[in-house]
Amino acid sequence: MVKLINTKLQDVKLIETDVFGDNRGFFTETWTKEKFEALGLKYDFTQDNQSLSAEAGVLRGMHYQLAPYTQTKIVRVVTGVIWDCLVDLRKGSPTYSQWEGYILSEYNHRQLLVPKGFAHGFVTLTPNVNFIYKVDGYYAPQADRGIAFNDPDVGIQWPTDVSHAIMSDKDLKRPQLKDAENNFIYGEI
C-alpha cells in the first residue's frame, strides 16, 4: 500500500510505501506506476537523478526551473539523513511564499512530492547522503533559478547552523524571492 500524507503546503505530499524487513534487510517498492497513479500521482517522468553529499552541513538550494521547464520531483534519501525544505512560489496559492521542512532519511524511507512551482533544497544532517529523485522535465540550464536559502522575507528556520554550510558558488549568490524571476501562477502550471 502507498500512503499519502498531506502537509502544510498546498499540494505537497509525503509518500510512504510498505517496507518489508527480514533477516537480510528490507525490501520496498519505491515507485509503482499503477499504485501511484491510483492516488493521483500521474506524471511522465523523464529523468532520474542522484547526488552525493559527502559531509553533514552540505546545503543545496533553493532551486526551481522557470516555466515552461517546470519539474515535478519525487525525492528521497537512500543513505543518511536530510532536512528537506520547500517554498511555494506559485502566485495566488493559499500557501504562497510559505516554507516547510521534512526529515527524509534512510530510516524513515519517506519520499516527498515536490509539485511544479516550488523552490526545493536541503541540508544534510549526516555525512554520506545519497539523494535520488525522479523529475518529469529535462534539465534546462537556461531556466535554472533559485532563491537564497537565507532570504529574510521567507525566513526558513534551518534545523542546524547553516551560516557556514558547504554550498555551490551558484547557491551562495541566489537572489531574494522579491528580486527573483518567477513565472508560476497557481492553477496554471
The residues that are catalytic are 63, 133
Per CB under 6 A, does 117 bind ligand TDO?
no
Per CB under 6 A, does 172 bind ligand TDO?
no
* CA–CA dist 60, 121 (Å, integer): 5
* CA–CA dist 29, 2 (Å, integer): 9
Is 93 or 167 the residue whose CB approaches ligand TDO more closely? 167
Query: Any idea which residue has 508560476 for its cell?
Result: 184
Per CB under 6 A, does 61 bind ligand TDO?
yes
C-alpha distances out from residue 136 to 59, 72, 176, 181, 183, Å? 23, 6, 26, 21, 18
Shortest distance in whole angstroms from residue 47 CB to ligand TDO? 6
* CA–CA dist 18, 55 (Å, integer): 29
Per CB under 6 A, does 121 bind ligand TDO?
yes
* CA–CA dist 99, 89 (Å, integer): 10
Is 29 or 48 the residue whose CB approaches ligand TDO more closely? 48
Shortest distance in whole angstroms from residue 10 CB to ligand TDO? 19
Q: Which residue is nearest to ligand TDO (CB)?
A: 139
By CB under 6 A, what part of segment 9-48 binds ligand TDO? none
Q: Which listed residue (6, 49, 160, 176) binds ligand TDO by CB under 6 A?
A: 49
Query: Any idea which residue has 511555494 for its cell?
Result: 88
Q: Which listed residue (13, 17, 59, 60) binds ligand TDO by CB under 6 A?
A: 60
* CA–CA dist 64, 100 (Å, integer): 16
Residues making contact with ligand TDO (CB under 6 A): 49, 51, 60-61, 63, 120-122, 139, 168
